[in-house]
Amino acid sequence: MTEMVYGTVPVREGEPVLPKWWRTIDKWSMSCVLILFGIGILLGLAASPPLAAKNGFDPFHYVQRQAFFGSLALMAMMLTSMMSPTLVRRLAIIGFIVAFGALALLPVFGTDFGKGAVRWYSLGFASVQPSEFLKPGFVVVAAWMMAASLEINGPPGKRMSFVLVIVLTLFLALQPDFGQACLLLFGWSVMYFVAGAPVLLLVGFAVLVVAGGTFAYSNSEHFARRIDGFLSRDVDPTTQLGYATNAIREGGFFGVGVGEGEVKWSLPDAHTDFIIAVAAEEYGLVLVLCIIALYATIVVRSFLRLMKERDPFIRLAGTGLAAIFGVQAMINMGVAVRLLPAKGMTLPFVSYGGSSLIAGGIALGMLFAFTRSRPQGEIRDILRGVVR
């Protein structure tokens, strides 16, 4: 806890891995993740029993699974955060290749579980969503390419990363999974901006995204249905969005009381995509604001630490991971309050979902590895050297 009071502690050379990790990790962000996971278990106790009863399981079947997968996610986060940035990059490249191969084979071996989008592999005892594991791997690979382009006589890494993100977007759109596609595009745009992209180029890219959205609206019934539902002035009270909106309204400032909420009996995705509606109904605006503050703390502290980073790759990769983490949370909550069209996106570390939890743990482990304190000297010393 020394860092919380006195600031960053210098790393001692030759120090064992665990003490070195404890001295250099961002303990505030780590604490926020643990609190979010605890809130997820608490909300799971309220949201999952109706679904378990409907499917013939024990009342806390989904809570137990969430605790199991969450424990694996926390272990993955801890282990990944202990790695060096170089090791994280190497493993991320391997993981990205595997996840991309799994994504490409989804049309052949994947399933949609009756939801209209082929996004999962069914393993019998569990399911795997490749796009969740693709995100952190893509961010690291794209950051590696962009950082390489900044070197003298380096490869055209920015253009290579652009081609890569377009290819991935097309694969995700074919599922269709426009939410994850938009998330990848956003993460790439943030990294590209940090890497020094011209503003006009980013504006042109935004126009291209709008044109792609228009094309998807005209040619995808799945996409058009969600956009029409979002733009409609009246919300059908029998839809998931209608139930969620009413639950948030009923919750008020302090909520209706623990276990007294009704939305969990109506929403099939109350434990996943619309978990924030359960939080708002039973615990009120107070808990929702606490959840928002926890996500904001992780993102802001990560950005502040990355601003001191001299290594372009670490700075770009960390920025992309923090941006995707924060925006995914914003999208999930924005959908529940009808600020955004329905995306089918989980709330990181709070929603139920094995792939989401474990992939989120790996992504945050990478972020914590990149934001660990490292002796780098003062920025003014570097500037003086450049001037000389």
pLDDT in tens, 178-213: 888 889 999 999 999 898 877 777 777 778 777 777
The answer to whether residue 112 scores a pLDDT higher than 90 is no
* Residue 127 phi, psi (nearest 5): -130, 155
The answer to whether residue 17 scores a pLDDT higher than 90 is no
Residue 324's pLDDT band (cuts 50, 70, 90): very high
Q: What are the structure tokens assigned to 303, written together?
A: 């950005």
pLDDT given for residue 292 in this prediction: 95
The answer to whether residue 385 scores a pLDDT higher than 60 is no
Nearest to 363 by CA among 349, 344, 345, 343: 349
Tell me the helices (H) and strands (E) count for the chain, helix number first.
16, 2
The SS3 of residue 216 is helix
pLDDT given for residue 106 in this prediction: 87
Residue bearing the bigger pLDDT, 279 or 256: 279
Q: How far is CA 363 from the centre of its chain?
A: 8
The residues with which 122 forms a beta bridge, in sequence order, are 127
pLDDT given for residue 145 in this prediction: 95
Peptide bond into 237 cis (omega under 30): no
Give the percent of the chain with pLDDT over 90: 39
Q: What are the structure tokens assigned to 132, written together?
A: 């969740």
**CA 305/CA 318 separation, integer angstroms:** 9
pLDDT given for residue 184 in this prediction: 92
Q: What are the structure tokens assigned to 228, written together?
A: 């029409």
> Which residues are CB-neighbours of 306 under 8 A, at least 6 positions away?
314, 315, 318, 319, 322, 370, 371
Q: What are the structure tokens assigned to 95, written together?
A: 């993981």
The answer to whether residue 10 scores a pLDDT higher than 60 is no
pLDDT given for residue 85 in this prediction: 94
The answer to whether residue 75 scores a pLDDT higher than 50 is yes
pLDDT given for residue 229 in this prediction: 63
3-state SS, one letter per residue, for 104-133 = HCHHHHCECCCCCCCCEEECCCCEECHHHH
Residue 238's pLDDT band (cuts 50, 70, 90): low
pLDDT given for residue 230 in this prediction: 63
Residue 274's pLDDT band (cuts 50, 70, 90): confident
The answer to whether residue 378 scores a pLDDT higher than 50 is no
Residue 386's pLDDT band (cuts 50, 70, 90): very low
Residue bearing the bigger pLDDT, 46 or 142: 142
> What b-and-e string marks burial along 190-228, b requiring 16 or more CB atoms within 10 Å of the CB?
bbbebbebeeeeeeebeeebeebeeebeeebeebeebbe
Residue 382's pLDDT band (cuts 50, 70, 90): very low
User: How many degrees, rounded to 5, is the angle at CA 277 between CA 239 and CA 245?
Assistant: 45
Per-residue pLDDT tens digits for 131-163: 999 999 999 999 999 999 988 888 999 989 999
Residue bearing the bigger pLDDT, 50 or 387: 50
Q: What is the mean pLDDT of residues 210-229?
A: 70
pLDDT given for residue 174 in this prediction: 81
Residue 222's pLDDT band (cuts 50, 70, 90): low
pLDDT given for residue 13 in this prediction: 57
Q: What is the mean pLDDT of residues 314-332?
A: 94
* Residue 233 phi, psi (nearest 5): -70, -35
N-term to C-term CA, the chain: 40
> Which residues are CB-neighbours of 11 under 8 A, at least 6 positions away?
20, 23, 24, 373, 374, 375
Q: What is the mean pLDDT of residues 284-305?
A: 94
One DSSP character per residue, 268-312 reads TTTTTTTHHHHHHHHHHHHHHHHHHHHHHHHHHHHHHHHTT---H
Q: What is the mean pLDDT of residues 34-43?
A: 93
C-alpha torsion 39→4→24→296, nearest 10: 40
Q: What is the mean pLDDT of residues 110-132?
A: 79
**CA 215/CA 267 separation, integer angstroms:** 31
Q: What are the structure tokens assigned to 34, written together?
A: 């643990």
DSSP letter at 12? Answer: P
pLDDT given for residue 58 in this prediction: 86
**CA 386/CA 388 separation, integer angstroms:** 5
As a whole number, the mean pLDDT across the chain is: 83
Residue bearing the bigger pLDDT, 159 or 216: 159
Judge contact between 67 and 378, C-beta under 8 A.
Answer: no
